[in-house]
Structure 1
Amino acid sequence: MIANEYSRVAQTTLPLDIDGTPRSFLAYAYRRDQPGDELIALVHRAPDSQGTLPTVRLHSACVTGDALGSLRCDCGHQLNAALSIIAASNYGILIYLSTHEGRGIGLSNKIRAYALQDTGVDTVDANVELGLAIDARDYAGAAAVLHDLGAPSVRLLTNNPEKVRALHRFGIAVEDRILLTGGETPFNHQYLATKRSRMNHWLL
């Protein structure tokens, strides 16, 4: 058992198509008692004797963006970009956070928020109008997985300052931050603008 009541329950090799080239990852599954509360960590290569820091992405699940290719967000683009960067690194980890759908409000509530956004409300105010948290994500599980994998210091792929602060709170040192750029479409321009202006994301 590891911190925050997560346990590593399985591991396997997982070949992925990265930019048209098969790349092999080790996949570690973690679970805790709550139904559906599971994480997967994809590890590319392994730590070396030189103490190379892992390039790490904490990716919040997004069915609409990651699986369906929605253009309303940049999640699918960020997932693919992060996997490409990790696959090109000497040592990298992507943690896929399955409970983070819709910044932690769930898929159904995300679609409800989308409906409000269709009327001109931004992503922050849509959640507020629904009586939901602006951002309900918890990174304790991700930090616990990094500790379990022996990665107390990382190079973090993120545009979100809260991820940096959260990892520091849970004892993970963020030694370097790498922005994920691109992914803007005519359909997510306002979404990205709100990230910049109201959630202080580092976006170019």
Structure 2
Amino acid sequence: MSARAEILGRIGAALGDVPRPAPSPFPSPAEWTYGAPATGIEDVAGLFVERVEDYRAVVDRVAAADLPAAVGRALGPARAVVVPPGLEPEWLSTVVDVEVVVDDGTLSAAELDATDAVVTAAAVGIAVTGTIVLDHGADQGRRALSLVPDLHVCVVRLDQLVGDVPEAVARLSEAVASGRPLTWISGPSATSDIELERVEGVHGPRNLHVLLVD
């Protein structure tokens, strides 16, 4: 008999009178497919709003017909706003006394910093995490637009909401395959690295205003 077999035999004998554990009360793992729509979320839109607001962002649910007026209200006192080239012009139809700059890709960081706000669309909104993802299509523009101005007004359509991150990743696969970058936004830019004090606007917009279009 080998030493290994002898040791295992002794362990087995020592455990001979140990009661067997009862069957686990937990059900067997549910069938799950990566990227499939999340289950168990009764109100995806309501959860999305709740989680985004947890990050100290402002969220308004608006009807499509009221979106231009909502954009104007969200911009507030802004006097200069930059927009991506593919943004719907109708969204800014109620904006008055505001300089609207359409980004042609040549604006410097200093020029972007001189604007008060940016208005973009979005690619996906994730309910569980309260995250908005930009895939930088024509209506979202290059990454610098959503990272430099102090206010980001982001329009998210109801049909762009998903339950969880794997579902979002599945939706974003085309953008990834085409080589476009992704920007994942969970509330205004903030950090708590210094003495655990929350500081906003360190590496991105200080204010995030989300317009969820029903």
Same fold at TM > 0.5: no
Structure with the larger helix share: 1
Bigger Cα Rg = 2
TM-score for both structures, normalised by structure 2: 0.23
Higher RCO, 1 vs 2 (CA within 8 Å, ≥6 residues apart): 2
TM-score (normalizing by structure 1): 0.24
